[in-house]
Chain A
Amino acid sequence: MDFLATIGRVFLTFLSHVGRLSAFAGTAISHVVRPPFYPRLTLRAMIDIGYYSLPVVGLTAVFTGMVLALQSYSGFSRFAAEGAVATVVVLSITRELAPVLAGLMVAGRIGASMAAEIGTMRVTEQIDALTTLSTNPFKYLVAPRLLAGVLMVPCLVLVADIIGVFGGYIVGVYKLGFNPSSYLARTWEYLEPLDVISGLTKAAVFGFVISLMGCYHGYYSRGGAQGVGAATTNSVVSAAIMILIFNYVITALYFGK
């Protein structure tokens, strides 16, 4: 009976978290679309997410493209399909690797920072202070970050697409000996708008998830430095898991025929 009670307790706790997260997300979204708006804060969050994440996302993308070119060349040469390297690189980058890897990197960089900042504000009563100063914390803290996440992660992924393909091109042309113009031609030949659009859709959803989990865990953090640390960890882990789950769901919706 103890075993069943434990399962029941865990399940109820899980449901309570899902309910609280859903309510948090609903409230946050409603504040994104209702005035007053905070353009200055939104712009600052956009710069934090978009501009300051560029180096880490760019590095991830360029090396991913390079490795992908090497691996696919090495694998495809077993059945004389080396010519597909450029196509494999561009499709893998745009559909999967750029959005997922950029999402995970941004979750580690931005999600953690949001949870730590908002969590510290919570435990030092700064969020209560906002309320007493007639400022809704959802509008002031959560809505700008949510909007910035949805807008900027697709921009990052677009850049990652270009840099990732460029990484594959560098290895393809300078290491594997492909002709530059034929490599570029093969890159464009099978690329369809849907490949890029599906990746950008994923990026927008991942941006939402990253900001949501960072704000949610920070907002409900408790118990001083330890609580803020736990909130930071939880925001990164939960965002990473949700990114992987949503990646499958969106892929299935676009390409699961």
Chain B
Amino acid sequence: MTAPAKIVLSDVHKSFGKKVVLDGIDLSVAKGESVVIIGGSGTGKSVLLKSVLGLLRPEKGSIKVDGEEVIGMRSKDRDRMMLKFGMLFQGSALFDSLKVWQNVAFGLIQGRGMEREQAHAIAIEKLASVGLAASTGELFPSELSGGMQKRVALARAIATSPEIIFFDEPTTGLDPIMADVINDLIVKCTKELGATTLSITHDMASARKIADHIAMLYKGRLIWIGPAKDIDHSGNEFVDQFIHGRAEGPIKMELRA
């Protein structure tokens, strides 16, 4: 990695009660790089993203974005920091009470104080870039299919042309074709913006398509990090079991009565 580090996590720990979710995470994401974190459900992938965003506060460790410490950052500074970020949420998280174009333009109007007319024009442009017609902008999120909601959420995530974009399970709940469409859009949009991206998923097709580097999270630790092209011969039995989706192997599903 020759580009300077955009996001650096050092020895990050996060627990909920006695349950340790992150147990010393070290990760560096270079500027313009796309890193995908894979791992089973409940392994702490979302917690990791939310810790970087400041939505959760780790008990120990350091998270730096452009060299600036995020943990313990004041609310005002965090609002400023958030101007660098875009995020695609797992369930899209579109605002029900707002029209589609208002959702897409939200960050421009509220976060950056842009005039509504100008923000509307950009929202329509971003909707077009994810393959949605201008007329979609006048609908409410509840009137859209899951795939269309995901596209709108992607348009919202890129609307402010952020330097960093997070994708939380971008293809969950979509059929394979729509999932591939979303993956292509993610690659296209992030390339156009030159953004640094950090994604979490357990969809290997998605990970292979959008990642420069892949890291695997297991029991609160990153047990393997490497180029996406090396994932099939990682030499790590945990990674092998996960990417091939085998029930047998070192990863045991925790079944609770």
B residues less than 8 Å from A135 (CB atoms): 79, 106-107, 110-111
* B111 near A133: Cβ-Cβ < 8 Å: yes
* B95 near A129: Cβ-Cβ < 8 Å: yes
* B93 near A134: Cβ-Cβ < 8 Å: no
Does B194 make an interface contact (CB < 8 A)?
no
B residues less than 8 Å from A63 (CB atoms): none
Known: A132-B53, A132-B86, A134-B79. A125 touches B110 (CB 8 A): no
B residues less than 8 Å from A133 (CB atoms): 82, 106-107, 110-111, 156
Q: In whole Å, how far is B142's beta carbon from the nearest beta carbon of chain A?
A: 12
Point out residues on B near A: beta carbons under 8 Å: 50, 53-55, 75, 78-80, 82-83, 85-87, 89-91, 93-96, 106-107, 110-112, 156, 166
CA distance A152 to B146 in the complex (A): 39
CA distance A125 to B95 in the complex (A): 10
* B87 near A134: Cβ-Cβ < 8 Å: no
Does A77 make an interface contact (CB < 8 A)?
no
* B110 near A128: Cβ-Cβ < 8 Å: no
Kindly count the residue-residue contacts between A and B in the assembled complex, taking CB atoms under 8 Å apart: 56
* B82 near A132: Cβ-Cβ < 8 Å: yes
Chain A 122-140 against B: per-residue CB contact (8 Å), 1 yes, 0 no? 0011101101111110001
Which of A126, A129, A136 makes the CB contact (< 8 A) with B79?
A136
CA distance A195 to B107 in the complex (A): 48
CA distance A140 to B107 in the complex (A): 13
Q: In whole Å, how far is A190's beta carbon from the nearest beta carbon of chain B?
A: 48
Known: A132-B82, A134-B111. A124 touches B106 (CB 8 A): no
Which 9 pairs across A and B sit closest by C-beta, in order of nearness? A134-B111, A129-B93, A125-B93, A133-B107, A132-B87, A134-B82, A135-B110, A125-B89, A126-B93
A residues less than 8 Å from B166 (CB atoms): 132
Chain A 8-19 against B: per-residue CB contact (8 Å), 1 yes, 0 no? 000000000000
**Chain A interface category by residue count:** 10 to 19
Q: In whole Å, how far is A170's beta carbon from the nearest beta carbon of chain B?
A: 41
A residues less than 8 Å from B82 (CB atoms): 131-134
* A125 near B91: Cβ-Cβ < 8 Å: yes
Q: In whole Å, how far is A162's beta carbon from the nearest beta carbon of chain B?
A: 33
- List 16 A-B pairs, Cβ < 8 Å: A125-B89, A125-B90, A125-B91, A125-B93, A126-B96, A128-B55, A129-B93, A129-B95, A132-B86, A132-B166, A133-B110, A133-B111, A134-B80, A134-B110, A134-B112, A135-B107
CA distance A5 to B87 in the complex (A): 45
* B93 near A131: Cβ-Cβ < 8 Å: no
CA distance A11 to B51 in the complex (A): 31
A residues less than 8 Å from B83 (CB atoms): 134
* A128 near B89: Cβ-Cβ < 8 Å: yes
Q: In whole Å, how far is B49's beta carbon from the nearest beta carbon of chain A?
A: 10
A residues less than 8 Å from B95 (CB atoms): 121, 126, 129
A residues less than 8 Å from B111 (CB atoms): 133-135
* A128 near B50: Cβ-Cβ < 8 Å: yes
Closest to A38 in B: B110
Closest to A34 in B: B76
A residues less than 8 Å from B93 (CB atoms): 124-126, 128-129
Known: A125-B90, A140-B110. A132 touches B85 (CB 8 A): yes
CA distance A252 to B91 in the complex (A): 50
